[in-house]
Amino acid sequence: MRNFKMILQYEGTRYQGWQRQESTDNTIQGKLEALLTKMTGQKTEVQGSGRTDAGVHAMGQVANFHSDVAMDAREIMEYMNVYLPEDIAVIALEEAPERFHSRLNAKGKTYCYRVVNDSVPRVFDRKYVHVVKEQLDVEAMERAAAYLQGTHDFKAFTSNRKSKKSTIRTLDAIRIERTASVSMGMQNGEDEIRFWYSGNGFLYHMVRIITGTLLEVGRHKRNPEEIAEILAGGCREAAGELAPAKGLTLMEVRY
């Protein structure tokens, strides 16, 4: 049985997340599996590097599937891009070693969360950014983010309270940058703030809760030093709000 690795891009706006569900076929994994099953004539399962939430986007999601299809990698990729919805695309596809697994072999991931810090609506970016009207203090958010870097128990920064799995993760870097947003060729000044997160793995809602907490620091609703207390306490209620899904994009998976 051949093993194929693919890199995917998708706009998550209209999907119920990555993971297939019995109650709906409107998931990224579900769309991919339905198409590959039709293409191969055999039930085909797709393994993703992780489960992006409903509304979250991807520039570099990685997935793999096994099949004894006679088509080569180029033909499979062309077929998929003809029949996939226009908001899902395969940007690379190749044969991988038999034991390659997109989730189990992943060493790290990078996410980007985009915030437009302005009161003016962004018509053409509205599906990809979270708009915060209040002026944000980037320096304060950077001080708060410093407490989160390194290896910690991120129990306070996940919505999955029932899981018995370890909540210890390593955040290699959190970078916060203020930049100019460009929409339809028009530059709007330095009104966009991007939060970059790189780590060995992320818990359910972890990036969005961290972002929501940092935004509260940026609004001066809490002090940067509170982050250390939140980490130590491990209580979800002590952390900030869950930032909207639409601002988040999975940028890269590393192996």
- Catalytic residue numbers read 53
Closest CA to 130 of 110, 113, 152: 113
SS (H, E, C) the chain: CEEEEEEEEECCCCCCCCCCECCECCCHHHHHHHHHHHHHCCCCCEEECCCCCCCCEEEEEEEEEEECCCCCHHHHHHHHHHHCCCCEEEEEEEEECCCCCCCCCCCEEEEEEEEECCCCCCCCCCCCCEECCCCCCHHHHHHHHHHHCEEEECHHHCCCCCCCCCCEEEEEEEEEEEECCEECCEECCCCEEEEEEEECCCCCCHHHHHHHHHHHHHCCCCCCCHHHHHHHHCCHHHCCCCCCHHHEEEEEEEC
The H-or-E segment that residue 110 falls in is strand 108-116
CB-based contacts of 136, cutoff 8 Å, min separation 6:
115, 117, 193, 215, 218, 219
**CA quadruple 16, 19, 21, 26: dihedral sign:** positive
